[in-house]
Amino acid sequence: MVANAPREFFYGFSELAAAGADVRLLPDSALGFDGRRAGVLARGFNALIYRLAGIPALAAWRLATSRRRLGGADLVFVTTNTFGIGLALLKRFGLLRAKVLFLAMGLVEPHTPRRWRLVFRWVLRDVAVLALAEQDARLLTEVLRRQVAYVPFGVDKTFWTPAPDAVDGGYILSIGNDRHRDFATLVAAWRPEFPLLKIVTHLPVETAAANVEVIRGDWHSQALSDAEIRELMRLARFVVLPIRNTVQPSGQSAALQAMACGKAVLVTDYPGLWNREVMRDGETCILLGAPGDGVAISHTVARVLAAPEALERIGAAARRVIEDRLNTEVMATDLRVQMERCLGRTLVENAPRTEGAA
């Protein structure tokens, strides 16, 4: 793991290791997973199978041929759909002894083809499945015809922290790279009199507005470091996240990171908003209106710019939510409970339960 970096995307690994659990981290490269090295025919076959059945055939083959590198694990915890479906296929065909706990993210949407749903139901029969958003869990429960647990995502509250000194950078921040970001609507809604809007993304954003700046940023290539992103969040007046109409928890990590920095987050009121008990309009966040509603975005931004005291109050409440509920320690405990249910035994002797654990 990288020093001075947030821990949330290790999904409890560092907390479990520190508590004495026998856990090991296996990177993609250890399994020979690199689709770019595949031949043209292999890539074509993979694309065909994926289109027909939603199955990443090439990844499943790579996992099958390198499964010995799992090292005789009792449980494999997987956090990507490609590896989750691939490992589930190995289980179905008796090629993997270990139990599998699959944290599914964006696996199904309301428009997912029925044939894919039937395949997923069959493939995932012997795999425990979790979700990071309430709506996602409900949809997976419907598709798989068994209860899918919701485990709240939490960020590293010791890394994502408010600035030591209150400094206003004079800009608004929007950030994100997933396909559900609706930067086009945000840019169209941004009035000339609004402060500078900084958009950090690798997605294409077209604008000629003098008060909109696009910063090319990509988590995978680390075009901006985590510390640089934290500084951008700390100096922003608030963070605005425009999301398309989806049941997936788009914007979740960016929102929680900004909230941990004590910033008010303006986010679209979309179906996949991950936890409505926590994300309360006017209390811990500000809802922007329905997906694609540029007028609502424009009016909401104008309203909050005129009420800086409300932004400060909401930002402070957002930080308390992270400290109390949506942090890596709570997430690690919730995930440990789910792992122990799969294994039928404890991972850590005398481990304390965090309040709110599943």
Residue with tokens 């309430």: 134
Q: Which whole-number Å values give the CA distances from 304 to 7, 199, 293, in the listed order?
A: 32, 19, 17
3-state secondary structure of 113: coil
Q: Is the pLDDT of residue 51 over 90?
A: yes
pLDDT of 327 = 96
Residue pair 256/155 in contact by the 8 Å Cβ criterion: yes
Mean of pLDDT values over 258-282: 95
Same fold, 8-154+327-343 and 171-324: yes
Q: Is the pLDDT of residue 163 over 80?
A: yes
SS3 breakdown of the chain: % helix, strand, coil, rounded to 5?
40, 15, 45
pLDDT of 203 = 94
Q: Is the pLDDT of residue 356 over 50?
A: no
- What pLDDT band is residue 41 in, cutting at 50, 70 and 90? confident
- What pLDDT band is residue 145 in, cutting at 50, 70 and 90? very high
pLDDT tens string 197-252: 999 999 999 999 999 999 987 555 557 899 999 999 999 999 999 999 998 899 99
Higher confidence at residue 303 or residue 29?
Answer: 303
pLDDT of 320 = 98
CA dihedral for 139, 141, 145, 148, sign (positive or negative)? positive
pLDDT of 188 = 97
CA angle 211, 215, 218 (to 5 degrees): 150
pLDDT of 140 = 95
Q: How far apart are CA 61 and CA 36, in angstroms?
A: 15
Global pTM value:
0.90
For residue 277, count CB atoms less than 10 angstroms from its CB and return exposed for 0-12, middle for 13-18, buried for 19 or more: exposed
Q: How far apart are CA 204 and CA 217, in angstroms?
A: 11
pLDDT tens string 60-114: 988 898 888 887 899 999 999 999 999 999 999 999 999 999 999 889 998 999 9
Residue pair 117/145 in contact by the 8 Å Cβ criterion: no
Residue with tokens 């992270």: 322
For the chain, the maximum distance between any two Cα atoms, rounded to a whole number of angstroms, is 63
Of the candidates 224, 214, 301, 306, which has an alpha carbon nearest to the alpha carbon of residue 265?
301
The amino acid at residue 230 is R
pLDDT of 285 = 98
The CATH architecture that domain 171-324 belongs to is 3-Layer(aba) Sandwich (3.40)
Residue with tokens 């990590």: 253
Residue pair 167/180 in contact by the 8 Å Cβ criterion: no
pLDDT of 240 = 98
Of the chain, the percentage scoring pLDDT greater than 90 comes to 77
Of the candidates 221, 325, 321, 334, which has an alpha carbon nearest to the alpha carbon of residue 262?
321
Mean of pLDDT values over 150-159: 96
For the chain, domain boundaries? 8-154+327-343, 171-324
Q: Which helix (H) or strand (E) holds 201?
A: strand 196-201
Q: Is the pLDDT of residue 354 over 50?
A: no
Partnered with residue 130 across adjacent β-strands are 103, 149
Q: Is the pLDDT of residue 286 over 60?
A: yes
CATH (residue range 8-154+327-343): 3.40.50.2000
Mean of pLDDT values over 319-339: 96
Q: How far apart are CA 78 and CA 100, in angstroms?
A: 7
CA dihedral for 253, 255, 256, 262, sign (positive or negative)? positive
pLDDT of 277 = 92
How confident is the prediction for the chain on average, in pLDDT? 91
Q: How far apart are CA 156 and CA 201, in angstroms?
A: 22
pLDDT of 358 = 36
What strands lie across the sheet with 99-104, from one edge to the other?
75-78, 99-104, 128-131, 149-150
3-state secondary structure of 212: strand
Residue with tokens 């290539």: 221
Mean of pLDDT values over 133-151: 94
The amino acid at residue 75 is L
CA dihedral for 257, 262, 267, 273, sign (positive or negative)? positive
pLDDT of 274 = 92
Q: Is the pLDDT of residue 353 over 90?
A: no
- What pLDDT band is residue 35 in, cutting at 50, 70 and 90? low
